[in-house]
Amino acid sequence: MQKIGVQFLEATDNWGDKMNYLKNKQYNFIDLLRFIMAFFVIYIHKPFLMDSYPLINMIITQMFARCAVPFYLAAAGFLFFGRAQSGQKTPSREYLLRYIKRLLIMYCVWSVLYIPPKLYSCIVQHESMPGMLLDYLKHIFLHGTHIHLWFLPALAIAICLTYLFLTKLSIKATLVISILINLAYKAFVFSTHNEKGEDYFLILSVCFCFAFVAIGAYVAQNKGFSKKANYFGLGISFLLVVITEIIRFKAESTFLKEKNIFMFGIIYFLLSIAKEIELKPRLCYLYLRKSSSLIYLSHLLVGERMLYTLAYLIGQEQLGYNPLFKFLFVLLYTLPLSFGLIWLEEKKHFGIIKRLH
């Protein structure tokens, strides 16, 4: 019990000042939600119901899984800007620099870890090795080195952007501006039918991530609505998402499928509810906090080509094309890998593992 208390105390004091908006509380329910969201992210990339049950797939993907990344962003904004001293809008500049440095180191480390599966895919498809490496370098600065790693540099930029706005404007003004930028981008995409901007993490950070990080900052520094109002708001927001997504599904439209405007309400009210729910201090929440990031970042380490090869080697080639097997396989290696890395991190000579999450 003493060890648990020490680890929770270290986790609390790890990044911030004493008298802040978070009041040194451990938001274990937010950690639990982030862990659950990690599985929704896996489903987005490995949807096993898309062909057999398209309606159920749409419900899982558009009404639940699409909340994952916005919630990650809002939770990051909540925990970062919640570290500001009471009465201030931002934490110290030193804290900002440490936080951004940590994200960029994570991005570089995971970019290196994803080179082997990229090389394997290149070899199997008989692509040019120098061309692949040059393309990989270009993706580091423009698109993100893998389909999901854009999140790390985009979050870093969104945190800096929110921080910059808060040095000049109020939290409410920053939130309104961030949402207006998001809506303006949606209007541009809607009018031009050009979604190519989403290939660049700089555009995503400004037009998508900024709004959700600002929501997190606002929830951290404001009391908000009553408990009943938050639940009511979450229900209404979710209902609006359900209605719009059913209309989209009936129309067989995939346009702007990841950018439902009612997602703002879901994330705001969900985070507001989550911050008020207090769970008993348990060491497992500390593990969930770390594992959610590790699951998200590692779940595509075994690429499609590698999976096909593994299925072929065990004499079950058809499994490589089975969507349910792909999903379960990712779970089977990400969970042991994540918790194994956390266990190693606690050992004396493996502290470097903390660079991974």
For 177, the token pair is: 């501006």
pTM attached to this predicted model: 0.89
pLDDT score recorded for residue 332: 92
Position of tokens 């951290």? 220
pLDDT score recorded for residue 255: 55
pLDDT score recorded for residue 253: 65
| 70 close to 267: Cβ distance less than 8 angstroms | yes
| 162 close to 214: Cβ distance less than 8 angstroms | yes
Task: Specify burial of residue 86 (Cβ count, 10 A radius: 0-12, 13-18, 19+).
Answer: exposed
- For the chain, strand residue ranges (E) read none
Q: Rounded to an integer, what is the distance from CA 346 to the centroid of its chain?
A: 24
Q: Rounded to an integer, what is the distance from CA 53 to the centroid of its chain?
A: 26
Direct distance between the N- and C-terminal alpha carbons of the chain, in angstroms, rounded to an integer: 25
Q: From first to last of its 357 residues, what are the pLDDT tens digits of the chain?
A: 334 333 433 344 344 445 677 766 778 999 999 999 999 999 999 999 888 888 888 888 888 898 999 999 999 999 999 998 888 899 999 999 999 999 999 999 998 898 888 887 777 777 777 777 788 877 788 777 788 899 999 999 999 999 999 999 999 999 999 999 999 988 888 777 776 667 777 888 888 999 999 999 999 999 889 999 999 999 999 999 888 888 888 876 655 555 678 899 999 999 999 999 988 888 888 889 889 999 999 999 888 888 888 888 888 888 888 889 999 999 999 999 999 999 888 876 777 788 888
pLDDT score recorded for residue 7: 44
Residue whose C-alpha is closest to residue 299's, from 40, 51, 109: 40
pLDDT score recorded for residue 12: 40
- Provide φ and ψ at 280, rounded to 5°: -60, 140
- Give the DSSP H or E segment for 223: none
CB atoms within 10 A of CB 71: 26
Per-residue b or e along 289-317, where b marks 16 or more CB atoms closer than 10 Å to that residue's CB: bbbbbbbbbbbbbbbebbbeeebeeeeee
Rounded-to-integer distance, Cα 63 and Cα 20, Å: 34
- Give the DSSP H or E segment for 349: none
Rounded-to-integer distance, Cα 156 and Cα 104, Å: 8
pLDDT in tens, 308-344: 888 888 888 888 888 899 999 999 999 999 999 998 8
| 20 close to 58: Cβ distance less than 8 angstroms | no
- Provide φ and ψ at 85, rounded to 5°: -65, 145
Which residues are bridge partners to 20 per DSSP?
85
- Map residue 278 onto helix, strand or coil: coil
- Provide φ and ψ at 20, rounded to 5°: -125, 180
Residue 72 one-letter amino acid:
Y
pLDDT score recorded for residue 110: 92
- Provide φ and ψ at 25, rounded to 5°: -80, 150
Rounded-to-integer distance, Cα 301 and Cα 115, Å: 9
For 184, the token pair is: 């303006």
Tell me the CA distances in angstroms from 311 to 86, 302, 303, 334, one per residue in order.
56, 12, 12, 18
User: Where are the chain's structural domains?
Assistant: 2-22+48-281
pLDDT in tens, 224-254: 899 999 999 999 999 998 888 888 888 766 5
